[in-house]
Structure 1
């Protein structure tokens, strides 16, 4: 048995039993490495980093033999030893919670690896995995472009301490230092934002024709280049969404308020640029505004249904409309902790003889109620 607890990333990438797990998906190998991670947690980060690199090799458009994989790994390692540290202006980390060895070294390996992939596959340009570079879109402006071409989301810290999680094949651009009056990020693709509150400087996300304006909240923007519609969804807080055309019209008329859509938690808007139309609705899977809410708050014992609905409204920030006089006699006994909202509503409605539907951003409950 190999002494895996002393292996480096390169050692794993050249190991046939490791490749049997990552490249060929052999069940025995998969079980072995899952057990091994539990036995040697100190080596887990090294193993998983090697797995990411091996999967990048595996997912090349041209399939590679084990010998070609080993050749490319050798080339990657050789280049890594010779290359200087790549300068990344802002730290980032993968969404997976891992204790990576220094991020700069990881980036060097990935970029060096992409150069090797290009050289061996014969394509006309490198397949960038993740790059951080600067551009100058305007006089005196110093911007950073973040391009994620990995298969995993990448977390990026912005100059004000806000964070964005950039989806695969997406790009975000922002000034190296935000101005004194506003914070602006330009997005192509998809990202989740967690914005630090600053009442003196609104936070703007420009995604094609759409602008999302916030002071401090958590929200998602999806604006893929080949998709005719843009979606903005809010996880917590409040955002205002309007188009650049709306903004220009407001400036021409000297109107302070820009028409658009205001979104709160678990609401989203779908914007269709060709029609200039907004469709406001609930998100598909509403989530708790405060995920750390105690589970016992969702345990109900002969609780009036009005109290149950009130708890759901506060927890999800969603309005629930019903006829209080009809459902006054109804009580609910159930443990709803960890149950998705729509499943919670189905269980409640089944117990009180009701049904529900989503109307715009509201939930409407109807039925004959309970016998008093």
Structure 2
């Protein structure tokens, strides 16, 4: 497999005949080639996965999402290839042969060994201790050695709820430029808004930056992942670049998280992934909260209510579902249960991707 693929973006893959041919009509030969490339843990694996999903979205008629990545002309070209494939295959079924399963097993085994080695290496190192050694100014440290959550009020009135077995360091009085804290373990932050001074949380290799919001950070030394979960407002997360010559912390570009979204940072691959939190909560104000009572209401309106209440984007084929209606009471259902009712009603299914929901299919004619 050509190693130039290691620098390809999702758009590059979608415009690659080699990639599209394998996705539409895989053969044992192409499966072996792509399995070998995937087993090499390429740096742009997330882009490959995104391209796979985008191609499937185009197949399902969800062009608006793919339109953010490639041109309308390119989408039309892919649709023509998909139609041609469908005509050649009366009942297309994608099968994964033994070589693919074998390659997948090797990947899982190698990943497990890497995780074991990495966690063992972490036992002799502490990111928190190393990072704090680089801080020139005096910080106050609080360690929660109890079995209950400890509440800490900072000098700017921000509130930290420190989980058992966790520790946090902060300045007794924040300076005029920024508000910085260092965390080892897990804590929930309710940050007082100050547009002049961003609030920075350094936790393992991740920097979380906010102006004023509520979020949770989990970053224990012994764990291979860092989790940032947003309850309200918006948060940016990026990889910590350490201390530069000027003595000021620097951070690289990362992800922007909105309410009910979370980011997971793999300390092995040093990559972020974004998703919806396990149990989304209503984030809209009481005045704008939908009633979730429907009597022959267009599904498009129901989906808009979901987006407004939970702050989560829902992508779907508007033309395909324009005649769909819903009659149901969804007042007590969770976000996930609401989605299931909607999709069952319109004969569709859904997928959560990159902090969004994508509804596939549906037919109400």
TM-score interval, normalised by the smaller of the two chains = 0.5 to 0.7
Q: Work out whether 1:287 is the aligned partner of 2:281.
A: yes
Report how far residue 294 of structure 1 moved: 7.2
The one of the two structures with greater contact order (alpha-carbon pairs below 8 A, sep at least 6) is 2
Q: Does 1:190 align with 2:186?
A: yes
Check conservation: 1:236, 1:265, Cα contact below 8 A: yes
In structure 2, the partner of 1:338 is: 332
Specify the SS of the correspondent of 1:326: coil
Partner of 1:163: 159
Alignment TM-score, normalising by the size of structure 2: 0.59
Give the secondary-structure state (helix, strand or coil) at the position aligned to 1:343: helix
Q: Which whole-Å deviations, capped at 9, do the CAs of 1:125-144 have from their partners, x for residues lacking one?
A: xxxxxxxxxx9996662x33
Structure 1 pair 172–140 and aligned structure 2 pair: CA distance change class (3 A): closer
Distance in 2 (CA, whole Å) between partners of 1:257 and 1:294 is: 37
RMSD (Å) for aligned C-alpha atoms: 2.6
Q: Deviations over 1:250-286 (max 9, x none)?
A: x89x9x9831111111111111223211112221221
1:293 Cα offset (Å)? 6.1
Which structure would you say has the larger Rg? Answer: 1
Cα distance, 1:228 vs. partner? 1.2
Matches within 5 A, 1:8-19: none
2:304 equivalent to 1:302? no
Q: How does 1:105-120 map to 2 (within 5 A)?
A: none
Deviations 1:155-193 (A, max 9, x none): 221111111111121112211111111111111111111
User: Which residue in the other structure is 1:261 paired with?
Assistant: 255
Which residue matches 1:278? 272
CA contact under 8 A between 1:156 and 1:164: conserved in structure 2? Answer: yes
Residue correspondence of structure 1 range 127-142 to structure 2 within 5 A:
141=138
- Offset from partner CA, 1:297-352 (integer Å, 9 cap, x none): 22222211111100111111111011111111111122222321111100111112
Q: Number of matched residues?
A: 232
- Work out whether 1:219 is the aligned partner of 2:215: yes
> How far apart are the structure 1 equivalents of 2:157 and 2:305?
33
- In structure 2, distance between residues paired with 1:330 and 1:324: 10
1:248 to 1:184, Cα distance in 2 relative to 1, 3 A: closer
1-structure distance, mates of 2:142, 2:298:
51
* Structure 2, unpaired ranges of 5+: 1-131
Q: Distance in 2 between matches of 1:297 and 1:201?
A: 38
Tell whether the 8 Å contact from 1:295 to 1:337 is kept in structure 2 after alignment: no
Distance 1:308 1:336, change over 3 A: same
Q: Which residue of 1 aligns with 2:67?
A: none
Q: Offset at 1:367?
A: 2.0
Tell me, in whole angstroms, the C-alpha distance in 2 between the residues paired with 1:166 and 1:340. 28
Distance 1:295 1:360, change over 3 A: closer
SS in 1 for 2:337: helix
* SS of residue in 2 equivalent to 1:274: coil
**Residue equivalent to 2:206:** 210
2: CA distance, partners of 1:355 / 1:166: 39
Name the SS of the counterpart of 2:319 in structure 1: helix
One of 328, 349, 352 as aligned partner of 1:355: 349
TM-score by length of 1: 0.58
